Structure 1
Amino acid sequence: MAENRRGLGRGLSALLGEAEEGQEVQAGQAPAGEGAREIPIELIHRNPEQPRTHFAEEELAELADSIREKGVLQPILVRPSRQQPGEYQIVAGERRWRAAQRAGLKAVPALVRELGDNQAYEIAIVENVQRADLNPLEEAKAYAALMGRMQYSQDETAKVVGKSRSHVANTLRLATLPPTVQEHLMAGRLTAGHARAILTAENPAALAEVVVSKGLSVRETEALARAKTDAPKKASGPRAKPKDADTHALEADLEESLGMAVEVIDRGGAGELRIRYATLEQLDELCRRLTRR
């Protein structure tokens, strides 16, 4: 992939903060390439491809209170709307835009940039994943969508968003959890640490219900997952052997190549290869690769 797309996370703060302190702010339309300008809120619209889908009411209320007192301290990033001339689409900063509306502001400071669809999509994802309050499941789906859309590997995705490859790989696995577990994760009843521990369980959905009902810590969840995994089971065929270093390396290589969670289960020379996809786009890509002549 093109080098100029790597490390976007490190350059985003410069893009968002390039308006000089003390620069005059004027109302009305903002020509592309200039500093921050005040743009009427009604001329700004959300991006339907925004990675973040959940905005906590309490946090929005707190931010709105802060904006009433101090104003919007950091400009949002927008691009000219292609469907509505003279209006703008948010690239980064939807939460500030929502809170500004609650605070009763008529306009917000914004940087206007001419951005293509793919570039705007990358920036939106980077801006969100760099914020600590992004839900881990939304983060996982954002990585999966970015990989599917841009055909990035896990390593390339990690460089784009400024994260480690292991972080991207571990986060992607969260999107393979059962729907009931994902609901707990989205609602905040489970943390990313809980979810990673539950992933290793034979019945993640059942374990999640126990964790939520008892309010278990991450360490307690890990211990419970290990206990259930190590519990003796009725033999229904050759038992899977403990994985050696070569098997783990093979799984890592396949995950890197496919951009999906892979598990190799060997039972004395026979076994299974499990590939978990997080989105329908990933499934389509897997089918395309398997049927390629």
Structure 2
Amino acid sequence: MSREDLLGGLSAVATQGQVRQISYEQLHRASWQPRRSFPRDSLLALARSVRREGVRQNLIVRPSPQQPGRYEIIAGERRWRASAPDLAATLQLSVDEERGLTGPPPRTLPCLILTLDDQDARRLSAVENLQREDLDAIDEALYRLLLIQDVLGDRPHADPDNASTLAQTLGRRLHAIRNHPEQHGDERTRLETLFASLGTMTWESFVTNNLPLLQLPQDLLDAVREGRIAGRSALLIHRQTDPALRQALLTASETGASFQELRRLVDDQQGKRWKGLAADVRQNLGTRTLERLDDQRRARVMRLLEQLQDELQGSRS
């Protein structure tokens, strides 16, 4: 299914829009827009291009529902940010970097103005942004959630900054649909159609592998957004309960370690932990130690030892 099929009737609406130049100050980001990651170096490179050649692709906007006389950006926020008059201060550019910005920022940007309701604006924004290759894993998951909310008829969450709450709210429903297919046949069909249109993964895979990213703690969430670690590695780090191991994995990942290398570090650490535990148990299983226990505790230890012996013998068979 093509992008036009996914957008449905919006393709016809887009052909009826009006293109005009709009000043930077008249534009603003959408409050529901989930994308938060705009890598500094990439934005600076785009700003240099904008200063030399202008904005070559139309932004997609609509009349602002909250701010009369202004326009809400549906797609093209990165181009708008790169055109900012105060870009040097915002990005904290060095003197050399600022010299590389030849020419003034554009005073106006070319915009395609569409008349869209909230639902259609979110759908168009999600589809347009999911075509991009520079989305981080967190933003991609959030845009997919926007489309899931659309096809399931859910009211969008009011706070896109709170990724964890958003994932919990919709995640419960998605888990119910996955775990009880006999009760959610129509919803499953809609999800399957949506993800077939988007490609790259099934909706079940999204629930298992991508949705958990939105519930990462803030330090790992920021690291994924900033491109310092991969989403898969962040989930592995998050599962570790040993603070020292967690920090070692984070440091290794930020310096370029692959997921497989992190997995080996975890396995090595678990092996050391097992050896240490076995040594402690051997030391505490002396006859004198057992004799010092009262009858009830000694009986409990003996039962545990018998269970352990059964498990170890079973592993050899």
TM tier, smaller: 0.5 to 0.7
Q: Secondary structure at the match of 2:219?
A: helix
**AA matched with 2:123:** E
Distance 1:82 1:141, change over 3 A: closer
Given that 1:39 and 1:108 are in contact with CA atoms closer than 8 Å, whether structure 2 keeps it comes out as yes
1:179 offset after TM fit, Å? 3.2
Q: What is residue 54 of structure 1 aligned with on the other side? A: 37
Q: What is the aligned counterpart of 1:184 among 209, 219, 223?
A: 223
1:41 offset after TM fit, Å? 2.2
Q: What is residue 162 of structure 2 aligned with on the other side? A: none
Distance 1:177 1:85, change over 3 A: closer
Q: What is the aligned counterpart of 2:265 among 220, 224, 244?
A: 224
Given that 1:10 and 1:162 are in contact with CA atoms closer than 8 Å, whether structure 2 keeps it comes out as no
Q: What is residue 209 of structure 1 aligned with on the other side? A: 247
Q: Secondary structure at the match of 1:60?
A: helix
Query: After alignment, is 64-73 or 97-106 more displaced?
Result: 97-106
1:39 offset after TM fit, Å? 2.0
Aligned equivalents of 1:46 and 1:67: distance in 2? 19
Q: Secondary structure at the match of 1:101?
A: coil
Given that 2:233 and 2:262 are in contact with CA atoms closer than 8 Å, whether structure 1 keeps it comes out as yes
Aligned equivalents of 1:35 and 1:43: distance in 2? 16
Distance 1:76 1:226, change over 3 A: farther
Distance 1:8 1:227, change over 3 A: farther
Bigger strand share: 1
Aligned equivalents of 2:242 and 2:147: distance in 1? 26
Larger Rg: 2
Given that 1:76 and 1:109 are in contact with CA atoms closer than 8 Å, whether structure 2 keeps it comes out as yes
1:217 offset after TM fit, Å? 1.6
- TM-score of the aligned structures, taking structure 2 as reference length: 0.56
Q: Structure 2 matches for 1:157-172, cutoff 5 A?
A: 157-159=194-196, 161-165=198-202, 168-169=206-207, 170-172=209-211
Distance 1:38 1:208, change over 3 A: farther
Distance 1:135 1:208, change over 3 A: farther
Percent identity, aligned pairs only, is: 31
Given that 1:140 and 1:175 are in contact with CA atoms closer than 8 Å, whether structure 2 keeps it comes out as yes
Distance 1:135 1:111, change over 3 A: same
1:10 offset after TM fit, Å? 6.5
CA deviation digits over 1:186-238, x for unaligned, max 9?
33321224224446x44386544212323252221132344556764979x99
Q: Secondary structure at the match of 1:195?
A: helix
Q: What is residue 113 of structure 1 aligned with on the other side? A: 114
Q: Secondary structure at the match of 2:83?
A: helix
Distance 1:8 1:57, change over 3 A: same
Q: What is residue 84 of structure 1 aligned with on the other side? A: 67
Q: Unpaired runs of 5+ in structure 1?
A: 1-5, 20-32, 240-293
1:92 offset after TM fit, Å? 0.6
**AA matched with 1:67:** V
Distance 1:156 1:36, change over 3 A: same
Q: Structure 2 matches for 1:211-290, cutoff 5 A?
A: 211-214=249-252, 215-218=255-258, 219-227=260-268, 232=274
**AA matched with 1:134:** L
Given that 1:51 and 1:124 are in contact with CA atoms closer than 8 Å, whether structure 2 keeps it comes out as no
Given that 2:63 and 2:115 are in contact with CA atoms closer than 8 Å, whether structure 1 keeps it comes out as yes
CA RMSD of aligned residues (A): 3.7
